[in-house]
Amino acid sequence: MLKTALIAGVVGLSSLLNPLMANANEVNLYSARIEALIKPILDEFTAETGIRVNLVTGGADELLQRLQSEGRNTPADILLTTDAGRLHRAKEVGLLQAFASETLERNIPENYRDPEGYWVGLSMRARPIMYVRDRVDPSTLSSYEDLADPRWKGKICTRSSSNVYNQSLVAAMMAANGEAATEQWARALVNNFARPPRGGDRDQIKAAAAGQCDLVIANTYYLAGMLTDNDPAERQAAEVIDVFWPNQQDRGTHVNVSGAGLTAAARNRDAAIALIEFLSGDRAQQWYAEANGEYPVRDDIEIGEILSQWGDFKADPLDMSILGDNNAQALRLMDRAGWR
């Protein structure tokens, strides 16, 4: 009896002293998505599976830096972050490990998955052209390339070149048109800026509503968030803005993903894969559309009223991994073009 109790005590003490031991009933998630926009669906996962999710939230770049500094000692099993460019960066610096899942291969289109199995996209983020409804006739809009036309001089607002969403847009333009043509386009686009880039996507939308510009390049979920915001000023700014889907006659509108990967040091591997699979399922995919204003990566999921009001669109089918491959070149190109 004494020997049994002693062994049990040693095992229990060992567990307390070694928090990095695997536990089949929990998973540790580092999420760049804020708690309010992820925890409810994580709670559903726990209720369904009995697996507890320990959630750590933070800025996307902050979490990458944290994983790098923690190295093999990180408690994180999953990195959930925004933009294929960041997922590619995490893969390139050795923060992720490859994994296979028939469920994910079945649920998620191939172009939204890393070709080597290091990460998968879980929601789609569209970055179209937005316009002030009373000042722009949508029939005069056509493509991203057309934004370089001098008739838009002083009329365009967008974020800086340090923003990964714009880096990915330029990376996609490079894939479509080549580096030389994209640099020429970027120089002309910069010449059409209404003001030096500053602030986030919401700030661009508010600048347009205030008359500082007529056109905005921004992600639709920011506009969706403003339309449902508790702040009347946010809603009023968003209500004068409409969405135009560019490049519908050729490759389609630029899209990106938020996604997840298994960390290189993941100890709760099976539980982590189970959570990522759950996030590709029907309920989670509906959650992205309803709560986050993002598009499901699956085309069999119904979207909500706000997304529906902007209509269907053709998305660029570009492999998301190319956005990561082209990222460094895209940033250098933007610097050369004077996109600050």
- Joined together, the tokens standing for residue 250 give 């050729």
Q: How many CB atoms lie within 10 A of CB 239?
A: 13
- Joined together, the tokens standing for residue 26 give 């929990």
Query: Could you tell me if 81 and 29 are in contact, meaning their C-beta atoms sit under 8 angstroms apart?
Result: no
Distance of alpha carbon 6 from alpha carbon 223, whole angstroms: 60
Residues 6+ apart with CB under 8 A from 219: 125, 126, 127, 165, 201
State the distance between the two ends of the chain, measured CA to CA, in whole angstroms. Answer: 72
Distance of alpha carbon 209 from alpha carbon 238, whole angstroms: 7
288 annotated ligand binder: no
CA of residue 113 relative to chain centroid, distance: 13
144 annotated ligand binder: no
Q: Taking the CA atoms of the chain, what radius of gyration do you get in angstroms?
A: 22
Distance of alpha carbon 259 from alpha carbon 257, whole angstroms: 6
Annotated binding site: 221-222
Residue list for the binding site for Fe cation? 221-222
